Amino acid sequence: MKRISFNNILNILIYFLLSTGLWNPSPATAANFSLSSPPQLRDDQLAPIAALVEKAIRDGKTPGAVVLVGNDERV
């Protein structure tokens, strides 16, 4: 008898979730979230971050970067 591997079970589970629509939230669930406009950032506020990232890339310290900005416990 052939054993079912963990990866096979995981693949079956992911396929099931995607094919049944359980993976995506329903419109009723999405309606519970507030759609208020996010706070706006100005370019001059982000310029120092861009300069630091560009310098690190130029100096060969990193091949690239993704910057995550948070404020007041929100991203």
Q: Is residue 53 part of a domain?
A: yes
What is the total count of domains within the chain? Answer: 1
Q: Is residue 64 part of a domain?
A: yes
**What is the Cα–Cα distance from 4 to 12, expressed in whole angstroms?**
11
In sequence order, what are the residues at sequence separation of 6 or more whose Cβ sits closer than 8 angstroms to the Cβ of residue 60?
A: none
Q: Is residue 48 part of a domain?
A: yes
pTM of the model: 0.42
Two tokens at 44? 């001059």
Q: Is residue 60 part of a domain?
A: yes
Q: Is residue 20 part of a domain?
A: no
Q: Is residue 58 part of a domain?
A: yes
75 residues of the chain, pLDDT tens digit each: 567 687 777 877 777 766 666 556 566 555 566 666 666 777 888 888 888 889 999 999 888 888 888 877 776
**What is the Cα–Cα distance from 11 to 15, expressed in whole angstroms?**
6
- Name the region of 41 (left: φ>0; alpha: ψ -120 to 50; beta: rest): beta
45 is in which domain, residue-wise?
39-74
